[in-house]
């Protein structure tokens, strides 16, 4: 058998540690033929044990090793190079398998397989159109028709080292110009206190189901009047600290919060200048502060498509009133103090308040000073397949100079919806809200899908008329038709009518300078359209 040099070299490399040596063997002789055998058998006798030293092959191997030393070295180097190449390729494949990219709930998500790092980039666009009719003869108080971008936001959020979540979001159409920051969410959350987590930064007050539900997933173009007045006006994103937890059938969150980033002259901010906490060159003054909490539960839960949700919210806020006018002139003048104010619009493009308390600290007569206020809210939802009903009621109690128990502002709404195409509202048990709606079959001309279709109706009321407050009373009914083209694109059409609109506001008793008196008694029809994309 012929052994090639390459085979011998590889054998030499692999067997370099082998050594030659002696061995013993028993030999047998046939008594008749006198032949020698290595195994016993019939007619064979043991001759004895013989030993032979195998030194010649070792010398041959040594000679071969000497002769092929350069070749063996080259083979070793070649094997080392190939080993490194295989290792590099393996590491590359391993890294690729550890990083995943997908369009998820939070946007375009990039994450590692071990869950240590995640980052998502997303946003939303809401294009609105509005037209109004039957507004009466008071031209100066009629709603404007037109087009606008209701929200245009970009956000980034994710996870660092598994235990730290973060989010930063900016709304390019938020605020009223350079003095109002468009920052909404800006927070960091530590999640390794399970079952609790702690959030620090700017985030929404945990008050009301409608407010806790993202505007991407609302049933109607606008939230109810009560929610707009008591929670969303003028900025529900506040700086602070919160602790939250949740289980399979409950959620709880409590927060201590001050005023939001950026004042913008809005009455939710009582700082000394319009920049508020976004001011870089000087102090913004003392801010108001408060505590808010919300708890939810599922007393009946058969599945995510058949459940009963209940919830309650509570809040206390201490108000900082900056120094202002000393002469009791018309409310809303530049000499009035900056104070809290509650107001609500009735449409989506023209968001002029049709219910407005004006500054609640004012100089009329003996003067009024708002020191603090309490808010309470209750919520109830029932879902059974494609049908759902939802209602909330909330009240705000004013306290301070010349305010009493009778000065309680309140409001509420009731809504019902039906998915014609059979879907069910998507309940988010971790937040106690409703999330992204996914059609049973996305709209597609090619594949024959029609998306999800929903019809809904809502009646809401807001009453801010009391002995010392002249903010108006509004009753509004809305019918909506929603088309969910796919989970990230939807179109909404709302028709709304003002049933009741009464107040006794005048320039002498309301800090909106009597603007409500021009809308008093009007009952317009409002038509609203929205095209929404979020990713």
What is the pLDDT at residue 508? 64
> Is-contact 364 394, C-beta < 8 A?
no
Mean pLDDT along residues 178-198? 86
- % pLDDT > 70, the chain: 77
Give the mean model confidence (pLDDT) for residues 338-363: 86
Evaluate if residue 126 carries a pLDDT over 50.
yes
pLDDT score for 325: 40
Q: How many residues are listed for the chain in this entry?
A: 535
Other residues' Cβ atoms within 10 Å of the Cβ of residue 233: 22
Peptide bond into 234 cis (omega under 30): yes
Q: How many whole angstroms separate alpha carbon 235 and alpha carbon 414?
A: 24
Domains of the chain: 5-98 (no CATH), 115-534 (2.40.160.10)
- For residue 7, pLDDT beyond 50: no
Amino acid 16: pLDDT: 45
Higher pLDDT, 30 or 104: 30
DSSP bridge pairs for 186? 168, 202
- pLDDT class for 293, splitting at 50, 70, 90? very high
pLDDT of residue 17: 44
CA distances from 305 to 46, 227, 414 (A): 92, 26, 20
pLDDT in tens, 36-65: 777 888 778 877 776 665 554 555 455 555
User: Is residue 3 over pLDDT 50?
Assistant: no
pLDDT, position 261: 76
Both tokens of 492, joined, read 């909404």
Q: What is the pLDDT of residue 266?
A: 57
Please tell me the pTM assigned to this model: 0.77
At residue 77 the predicted structure's pLDDT band, cuts being 50, 70 and 90, is confident
Q: Which pLDDT score is estimated for 30?
A: 79
Q: Which residue has the higher pLDDT, 224 or 362?
A: 224
pLDDT (mean) for 16-41 = 68
pLDDT of residue 191: 94
Angle between helices 56-67 and 5-14 (to 10 degrees): 110
pLDDT of residue 14 exceeding 50, the answer is no
Task: Using the predicted structure, report yes or no on whether residue 288 has a pLDDT greater than 90.
Answer: no
Question: 90-104, 190-204, 483-497: lowest mean pLDDT where?
Answer: 90-104
Give the residue-averaged pLDDT of 446-470: 93
How far apart (Å, rounded) are the C-alpha atoms in residues 502 and 485?
40
Q: What is the mean pLDDT of the chain?
A: 82
> What is the pLDDT, as a whole number, of residue 121?
92
pLDDT band at residue 114 using 50, 70 and 90 as cut-offs:
confident
pLDDT of residue 140: 57
Instruction: Note the pLDDT of residue 332.
Output: 40
Under the banding of pLDDT at 50, 70 and 90, the label for residue 386 is very high
Taking 70 as the threshold, does the pLDDT of residue 161 lie above it? yes
Reported as a pLDDT band with limits 50, 70 and 90, residue 382 is: very high
Concatenate the DSSP letters of all residues of 210-276 into one string: HHHS-GGG-SSSS--HHHIIIIISS--EEEEEEEEEE-SSEEEEEEEE-PPS--TT-TT--SSSTTG
Cα–Cα distance for residue pair 21/5, rounded to 1 Å: 24
pLDDT at 26 over 50: yes
Distance CA 316, CA 292 (A): 7
C-alpha pair distances (Å), 313 with each of 239, 396, 405: 19, 12, 20
pLDDT of residue 205: 95
What pLDDT score does 11 carry?
47
The CA–CA distances, whole Å, from 210 to 118, 136, 360, 374, 377 equal 29, 32, 25, 19, 11
Residue 227 backbone dihedrals phi, psi, to 5 degrees: -65, -40
pLDDT for position 276 = 56
The pLDDT assigned to 533 comes to 96
Which residue would you say has higher pLDDT here, 123 or 26?
123
In this predicted model, which residue has the larger pLDDT, 507 or 178? 507
Least reliable range by pLDDT among 246-260, 320-334, 498-512: 320-334
284: pLDDT strictly greater than 80: no
pLDDT-based confidence at 426, cuts 50/70/90? Answer: very high
Say how far residue 279 (Cα) sits from the centre of its chain: 27
Q: What is the pLDDT of residue 108?
A: 81
* Band of residue 6 on the pLDDT scale cut at 50, 70, 90: very low
**355 has pLDDT over 60:** yes
């Amino acid at each position: 058998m012929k052994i090639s040099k390459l085979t011998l070299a590889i054998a030499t490399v692999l067997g370099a540690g082998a050594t030659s040596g002696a061995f013993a063997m028993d030999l047998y002789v046939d008594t008749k033929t006198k032949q020698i055998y290595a195994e016993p058998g019939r007619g064979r006798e043991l001759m004895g044990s013989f030993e032979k030293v195998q030194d010649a092959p070792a010398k041959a191997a040594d000679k071969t090793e000497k002769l092929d030393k350069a070749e063996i070295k080259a083979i070793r180097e070649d094997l080392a190079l190939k080993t490194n190449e295989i290792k590099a390729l393996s590491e590359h494949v391993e890294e690729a398998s550890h990083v995943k990219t997908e369009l998820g709930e939070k946007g375009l998500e990039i994450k590692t397989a071990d869950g240590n790092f995640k980052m998502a980039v997303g946003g939303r666009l809401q294009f609105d159109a509005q037209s109004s009719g039957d507004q009466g003869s008071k031209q100066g108080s009629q709603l404007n028709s037109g087009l606008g971008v209701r929200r245009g936001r970009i956000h980034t959020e994710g996870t660092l080292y598994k235990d730290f979540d973060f989010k930063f979001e900016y709304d390019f159409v938020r605020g009223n110009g350079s003095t109002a920051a468009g920052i909404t969410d800006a927070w960091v959350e530590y999640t390794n206190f399970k079952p609790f987590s702690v959030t620090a930064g700017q985030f929404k007050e945990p008050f009301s189901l409608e407010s806790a539900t993202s505007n991407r997933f609302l049933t109607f173009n606008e939230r109810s009047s009560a929610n707009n007045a008591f929670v969303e006006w003028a900025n529900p994103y506040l700086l602070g600290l919160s602790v939250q937890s949740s289980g399979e059938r409950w959620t709880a969150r409590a927060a201590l919060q001050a005023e939001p980033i950026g004042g913008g002259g809005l009455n939710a901010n009582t700082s000394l200048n319009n920049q508020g906490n976004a001011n870089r060159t000087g102090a913004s003054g003392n801010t108001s502060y408060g505590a808010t909490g919300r708890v939810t539960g599922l007393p009946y839960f058969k599945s995510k498509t058949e459940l009963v949700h209940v919830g309650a919210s509570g809040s206390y806020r201490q108000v900082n009133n900056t120094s202002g006018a000393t002469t009791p002139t018309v409310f809303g003048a530049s000499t009035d103090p900056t104070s809290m104010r509650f107001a609500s619009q009735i449409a989506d493009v023209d968001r002029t308040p049709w219910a407005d308390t004006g500054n609640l600290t004012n100089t009329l007569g003996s003067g009024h000073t708002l020191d603090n206020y309490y808010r309470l809210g209750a919520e109830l939802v029932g879902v059974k397949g494609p049908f759902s009903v939802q209602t909330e009621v909330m009240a705000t109690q004013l306290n301070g100079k010349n305010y009493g128990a009778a000065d309680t502002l309140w409001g509420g709404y009731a809504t019902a919806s039906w998915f014609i195409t059979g879907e069910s509202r998507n309940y988010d048990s971790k937040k106690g809200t409703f999330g992204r709606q996914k059609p049973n079959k996305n709209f597609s001309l090619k594949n024959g899908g029609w998306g999800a279709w929903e019809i809904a109706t809502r009646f809401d009321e807001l009453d801010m008329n009391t002995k010392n407050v002249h903010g108006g009373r509004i009753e509004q009914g809305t019918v909506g038709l929603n088309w969910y083209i796919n989970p990230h694109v939807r179109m909404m059409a709302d028709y709304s009518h003002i049933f009741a609109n009464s107040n006794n506001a005048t320039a002498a008793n309301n800090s909106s300078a009597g603007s409500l008196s021009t809308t008093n008694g009007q009952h317009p029809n409002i038509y609203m359209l929205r095209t929404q994309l979020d990713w």
